[in-house]
Structure 1
Amino acid sequence: MLISRKGDWFEAIITSGQTGKTIETFLKDEWKMPKKLLHQFRMNKQVKLNNEVVGWNQLLHANDRLQAQFYFPEEQTFPPFYTELDLLYEDEHFLITNKPAGIDTHPNEQGDKKTLSNMVAFHFLTEGLQTAPRHIHRLDRDTSGAILFAKHPLVAAILDKMLEKREIKRTYIALVNGIVKQNKGTINQPIGRDRHHATRRRVSPSGQHAVTHYRVLHRNHKFQQTLVELSLETGRTHQIRVHMSHLGHPLIGDTLYGGLPASIGQQVLHAVRLQLQHPFTQEKIEALAPLPPGIFKHYESVILKQYNI
């Protein structure tokens, strides 16, 4: 679909295959606009046809120009914090950035202004955007790597649905204690809160459905360590950490779940790759996050060969 930005508005040229649809049907079918946004766009007159506000039962014809206001001023929930983002991908609709370890994805306490969301808020300001940052998924404080942010409410709603339908693929690499015997496998165990620890999670029959796939990339018998690739079907809090600990191979540096301490002072977990099909252009997007210095000290050549970073 050809769609172009015109200031705060975006314009789509109607094709022959879309003729005969009403504006409302187009918004639902082509842009997957949810009911709440449909109501908002209708009430605020954020949709035009050939530069005019018309009824949403209006039929579309080939070469019509449908315009929608994707950008509009919003309350800034994240005070901007100045820093340079390590951008892996960016266009008018969303961005993918490489989160460093040691910062939260979003504020967890009142007054916390040095999170990735605050940094993205500053980046939006430099682009003249008054929309609020929307993270589509999260990474733990001590996990680095690729993370996805939406630039406007419509693409946020679309990406949320894509994540729910497993159409956004997230690949992680981790270094775990011990030698993982199987070359690949799946951990399908529900995860719930640990009632004995405020922040800890555990495998629990009454927990939420959680599925993690793993694949061995390298075994280091000398150090009794295994480098593994992991992919998620679900996105539970601490999912990889809980599942690998349950398997008997906690992440190195993840002392909360039984891992041996690491000299770098953090768990060895990195979101190395994020893949999705662009919801508007249908382009296949693949973002690869460079490795943080030092945390995969003996395994960088294996990783670089695997992912061509």
Structure 2
Amino acid sequence: MLKQQQECTINVHVYDQWSGMSIQSLFRTQWLAPKKLVHQLRMEKRVSVNDSLAIWTAPLEAGDDIFITFPNELNNTIIPFKTTIQIVYEDEHLLIVNKPAGMATHVNEQNEMDTLANAVAFYLQGQNDNRKIRHIHRLDKETTGAIIFAKHALSHAILDQMLENNEIDRTYLALTDGLMKKSTFTIRAPIGRDRHHPTRRRVSETGQQAVTHCKILKTIPEKQLSFIECKLATGRTHQIRVHMAHIGFPLAGDQLYGGRPIFQRQALHARKLAFVHPFTLKRIDCTAPFLDKPYIFEPFVKR
């Protein structure tokens, strides 16, 4: 029986950029933390500076250490599932995992056990950690690559905002049917549901704004394929798949959107994540290795 998770305490160092700010302004204007969470931390006296309870309006000094203790949030919904996952990056605030093909990102049905969230729960359980599982974004079941999980309520809120504000660079690699000619281009086409199909999306004037920046890395004439890099400015469901099909170059293997069935899945991999860490202010650059065997992309790029 897993021991209950103790309250989580994090330590945030005050850098020169934050010198002179108050705890209150750090939470509200720098981190854009939810008002409800800030109120709870303040009322329950869960924030201290160095060795003293925080005075929320007092200016901070470079070199100070902030300690934040979060309420106990046990994972009572995600069943730990024993499987091996590849950790790309980890610290006390977040976890970046390399998702394999054939695995959904999160649980959609009660008692579901074979998602990445279940695997992350098992990984944390191995560290005697039974915290709530918080994914920041998603990948389609058959898409591989890097996904961010937050480890506490504050990092969850901040990373959500960063994703919404396009402050997390997401780079994908894909193989598309056909030989592209433009070296770089941007697709701006709103995406909405396809009312004729339960899971498919389509370009629609009434859909949500969607922007994909593309770069051709290589063309393979003998296989009629293009090897491309895509960067997302928005994060709509099936965005790259829909946009590439819309311009006449569906992803190879993506039969839902008209791609040739030359692979067992769509040839799409979330290769890189890059962002400035909200607590350490260091730039995080993560590259997710390819997991397929045989490797779909191996002829075109090193693992």
Once the two structures are overlaid, the 10-residue window that deviates more, 200-209 or 280-289, is: 280-289
Please state how far the C-alpha of 1:223 moved relative to its aligned partner.
Answer: 1.3
Tell me if 1:47 matches 2:47: yes
Q: Distance in 2 between matches of 1:240 and 1:138?
A: 13
8 Å CA contact retained: 1:81, 1:118: yes
Please state how far the C-alpha of 1:67 moved relative to its aligned partner.
Answer: 1.9
Within-5 A mapping of 1:181-260: 181-260=181-260
8 Å CA contact retained: 1:81, 1:113: yes
8 Å CA contact retained: 1:51, 1:67: no
8 Å CA contact retained: 1:71, 1:131: no
Residue 302 of structure 1 aligns with an amino acid whose one-letter code is F
Q: What corresponds to 1:302 in structure 2?
A: 300
Within-5 A mapping of 1:73-84: 73-84=73-84
Listed one character per residue, the Cα deviations across residues 158-195 of structure 1 (whole Å, up to 9, x for unaligned) are 11111111111111111111111211111100000001
Q: Distance in 2 between matches of 1:15 and 1:194?
A: 49
Q: Distance in 2 between matches of 1:177 and 1:106?
A: 30
Please state how far the C-alpha of 1:41 moved relative to its aligned partner.
Answer: 1.2
Residue 44 of structure 2 aligns with an amino acid whose one-letter code is N
CA distance 1:94–1:64, change in 2 (3 Å): closer
Please state how far the C-alpha of 1:267 moved relative to its aligned partner.
Answer: 0.9
8 Å CA contact retained: 1:95, 1:151: yes
Listed one character per residue, the Cα deviations across residues 93-131 of structure 1 (whole Å, up to 9, x for unaligned) are 111111000000001222211100111112222223332
- Give secondary structure in 2 for the equivalent of 1:42: helix
CA distance 1:175–1:274, change in 2 (3 Å): same
Q: Distance in 2 between matches of 1:214 and 1:173?
A: 10
Q: Distance in 2 between matches of 1:253 and 1:38?
A: 47
Residue 215 of structure 2 aligns with an amino acid whose one-letter code is R
Tell me if 1:99 matches 2:68: no
CA distance 1:291–1:22, change in 2 (3 Å): closer
CA distance 1:115–1:85, change in 2 (3 Å): same
Q: Distance in 1 between matches of 2:20 and 2:204?
A: 52
Q: Distance in 2 between matches of 1:223 and 1:63?
A: 58
Q: What corresponds to 1:275 in structure 2?
A: 274
Residue 87 of structure 1 aligns with an amino acid whose one-letter code is I
Q: Distance in 2 between matches of 1:266 and 1:65?
A: 48
Q: What corresponds to 2:286 in structure 1?
A: 287
Listed one character per residue, the Cα deviations across residues 9-59 of structure 1 (whole Å, up to 9, x for unaligned) are 233455677565443223324444221210221233221244444553455
Q: Which runs of 5+ in 2 are unaligned?
A: 1-6
Listed one character per residue, the Cα deviations across residues 182-221 of structure 1 (whole Å, up to 9, x for unaligned) are 1111110000000111111000000000001111111111
Q: CA RMSD in A?
A: 2.2
Q: Distance in 2 between matches of 1:148 and 1:21?
A: 29
Q: Which runs of 5+ in 1 are unaligned?
A: 1-6
Tell me if 1:128 matches 2:128: yes
Within-5 A mapping of 1:112-151: 112-151=112-151
8 Å CA contact retained: 1:20, 1:61: yes
Give the alignment's TM-score, normalised by structure 2.
0.90
Q: What corresponds to 2:3 in structure 1?
A: none
CA distance 1:236–1:118, change in 2 (3 Å): same
8 Å CA contact retained: 2:14, 2:60: yes
Q: Distance in 2 between matches of 1:108 and 1:13?
A: 38
Residue 256 of structure 2 aligns with an amino acid whose one-letter code is L
Q: Distance in 2 between matches of 1:60 and 1:153?
A: 23
Q: Distance in 1 between matches of 2:289 and 2:75?
A: 33
Q: Distance in 2 between matches of 1:296 and 1:214?
A: 22
CA distance 1:273–1:65, change in 2 (3 Å): closer
Q: Distance in 1 between matches of 2:230 and 2:256?
A: 19
Percent identical residues: 47
- Give secondary structure in 1 for the equivalent of 2:107: coil
Please state how far the C-alpha of 1:72 moved relative to its aligned partner.
Answer: 2.9
